[in-house]
Amino acid sequence: MIKNNEKLLSLYVHWPYCEAKCPYCDFNSHVNEVIDENQWIKSYKNQLYYMKEELLRNDIDFKNLNTVFFGGGTPSLMPLGIIERILDISSNIFGFDTDIEITLEANPNSYDRTRFIKLKDIGINRLSIGVQSLNNKYLKFLGRLHNIKDVNIATRDASSIFDNISVDIIYAFYDQDLVEWTNELETFLKANNLHHLSLYQLTIEEGTKFFKDYNKGIIKLIDDDLASEFYKVSNNILTDFEFIKYEVSNYAKEGFRCKHNLNYWNSENWIGIGPGAFGRLWSSNSKTKRIEYQNYKNPKTWVSRNFFQAKFDKITEFDCHVSDTDVLMMGLRLYEGLDISKLNNRSIINDDSLNYLKKQQMISFKENILKIHEDHMIKLNSIVNYLINP
Ligand SMILES: C[S@@+](CC[C@H](N)C(=O)[O-])C[C@H]1O[C@@H](n2cnc3c(N)ncnc32)[C@H](O)[C@@H]1O
Ligand code: SF4
């Protein structure tokens, strides 16, 4: 059973603007437009105060924030004054842990040394750089505005400013050569002092340009066996470079796991502010009740809400089954596995499925810790769906 006062608290801040819309991206991102900085600060501030009231109303015994994450969109384009105010206000309202992790996502083409020194000065202590590919051919395919030279400049220079650097890379494209990828990844890791990597395989998301192209046969996806091969080879390279694989797509040097994402995977409490952001809180009035707050997606709608309008687009109360499914889905992403005493109702797990998966050595289950075997992590979603009783 979840005990609320043992939960950590995170803050996610969404910035919805980018220089251009990438053809594969279904995040809530829109091409840059002129904004009224004060109006945006006011809206973020109102939401922070409102969420503090929600925490109190739901009897959530919150301590300090242990992470803040500026995600997007492209938050490296965010006016510094807005970032600074959000950090001031949230620190006053909630308090910051002494070792708080404050991440900002940055795109290599909006990298500017002076600006990044200022970002560090105002409190950003972790930078997540959207490298996306180590090859110009695929950067072009992904519609990115930067090239590999921009990647190298941004990554090397940022390392001289920040003590905690992460990069996002998409790999295993349809016609990608495994040997070429191996060389690119090794060369990049040798040249840069990175602390964390997120390596994703391309997914085709509904509503994107890639979705239409895929359905017309203009673009293709790599086959599953080759995708597994790319995954295994990449895992081995990262192990050689002393990265610990701690989640299906995430690798960290010792002491540099992303605390913010761990809060999602461990189903802690988090507040989400900004267009389209969502937050989830466990209510201590009822230990099985989890509430999700979903913000208006459209940036103009979100920023222009006034005091008399609905604060959120949607507030949903999860029932026990939905909460437990989510706790399982998220927790099993972690290589350490999930302590199933976190579930409200253990019978969500189908025992026949559990025994079958154990026999096939796809999962292990010892002393309450349920874990997916390393080689089968890539099939995570289908394994979890098979495990759960409908
Ligand atoms: C919000 S986006 C990052 C924001 C930042 N503007 C950027 O593009 O670098 C988070 C990450 O999700 C990954 N991503 C987004 N869409 C994806 C897709 N369709 N397939 C695989 N990875 C994707 C990218 O690596 C991206 O860096
Ligand atoms: S820059 Fe990032 S958030 Fe913006 S459209 Fe591209 S992938 Fe999406």
Q: Is 285 inside any structural domain?
A: no
Same domain for 128 and 47: yes
> Of 263, 297, 318, which residue constitutes the final position of a domain?
263
State whether the beta carbon of 27 lies less than 6 angstroms from ligand 2: yes
Residue nearest to atom 6 of ligand 1 (CA): 74
* Residue from 74, 105, 70, 73 nearest 87 by CA: 70
Q: Is 239 left (phi over 0), alpha (psi -120 to 50) or beta?
A: alpha
Same domain, 245 and 347: no
* Positions in the chain whose pLDDT score sits under 70: 1-5, 285-288, 306-310
Q: Is residue 40 located within the same domain as residue 123?
A: yes
Task: Report CA(299)–ligand 2 centroid distance (Å).
Answer: 15
With vertex at residue 61, the alpha carbon angle to CA 56 and CA 64, rounded to the nearest 5 degrees, is 100
List the domain range (segments joined by +) for residue 385.
Answer: 333-390
Residue 234 in contact with ligand 2 by CB distance below 6 A: no
Ligand 1 cavity residues, CB under 6 Å? 18, 24-25, 27, 71-72, 74, 105, 107, 130, 132, 168, 170, 200, 202-203, 205
Residues in the chain: 390
Do residues 115 and 79 touch, judged by C-beta distance below 8 A? no
- Is residue 325 a part of any domain in this protein? no
297 lies in some domain:
no
Q: Are the C-beta atoms of residues 311 and 53 closer than 8 Å to each other? A: no
Same domain assignment for residues 241 and 376: no
pLDDT at 247: 96
Task: State how far the alpha carbon of 265 is from the alpha carbons of 162, 258, 261, in Å.
Answer: 25, 11, 6
Contact present, 272 and 283 (Cβ < 8 Å) = no
pLDDT number for residue 3: 45
CATH of the domain at 198: 3.20.20.70
Which ranges in 216-315 belong to alpha helices (H)?
224-240, 259-265, 299-304
What is the Cα–Cα distance from 281 to 292, expressed in whole angstroms?
7
Residue 328 lies in a domain: no
Is residue 212 domain-shared with residue 360, that is, in the same domain? no
Answer whether residue 136 is part of any domain. yes
- Given this model, what pLDDT does residue 285 score? 60
- Nearest ligand 2 atom to the CA of 18 is 4
The pTM assigned to this predicted structure is 0.95
Check whether residue 259 and residue 337 sit in a common domain: no
Give me the pLDDT at residue 289, please: 81
Instruction: Determine, yes or no, domain membership for 327.
Output: no
Assess whether 201 and 65 both reside in one domain: yes
What digits encode the pLDDT tens for the residues 73-124? 999 999 999 999 999 999 999 999 999 999 999 999 888 999 999 999 999 9
Q: Does residue 282 lie within any of the structural domains?
A: no
Return the residue whose CA atom lies nearest to atom 8 of ligand 2. Answer: 25
Q: Per the domain annotation, does 186 fall within a domain? A: yes
If you measure from the C-alpha of residue 129 to the centroid of ligand 1, how many angstroms do you get, rounded to a whole number? 10
pLDDT in tens, 120-146: 999 999 999 999 999 999 999 999 999
User: What whole-number distance in Å separates Cα of residue 229 and Cα of residue 209?
Assistant: 27
CB atoms within 10 A of CB 117: 12
* Any atom of ligand 2 within 6 Å of the Cβ of 29: yes
Same domain for 190 and 52, yes or no, is yes
Please name the residue whose Cα sits nearest to atom 11 of ligand 1: 168
Ligand 2 center–CA 79 separation, angstroms: 18
What is the C-alpha separation between 384 and 287, in angstroms, rounded? 24
Ligand lying nearest the CA atom of residue 131: 1
Q: Which atom of ligand 1 is nearest to the CA of 169?
A: 25
What is the b/e burial string over 339-356, where b = at least 16 CB atoms within 10 angstroms of the residue's CB?
ebeebbeeebbeeebeee
How many domains is the chain partitioned into structurally?
2
Nearby residues of 321 by Cβ (< 8 Å), 6 or more positions away: 345, 348
Ligand nearest to the CA of 76: 1
pLDDT value at residue 284: 72
Pocket test of ligand 2: the residue of 15, 21, 25, 203 to mutate, having most ligand atoms within 8 Å of its CB, is 25
Asked if residue 210 and residue 65 are part of one domain, the reply reads yes
The amino acid at 226: L
Same domain, 68 and 195: yes
Q: Which of the listed residues 216, 239, 263 is the one where a domain comes to its end?
A: 263
Q: Which of 205, 239, 263 lies at the terminal end of a domain, its last residue? A: 263
Whether residues 200 and 76 share a domain: the answer is: yes
> Nearest ligand to the C-alpha of residue 18?
2
**Do 386 and 247 have their domain in common?**
no
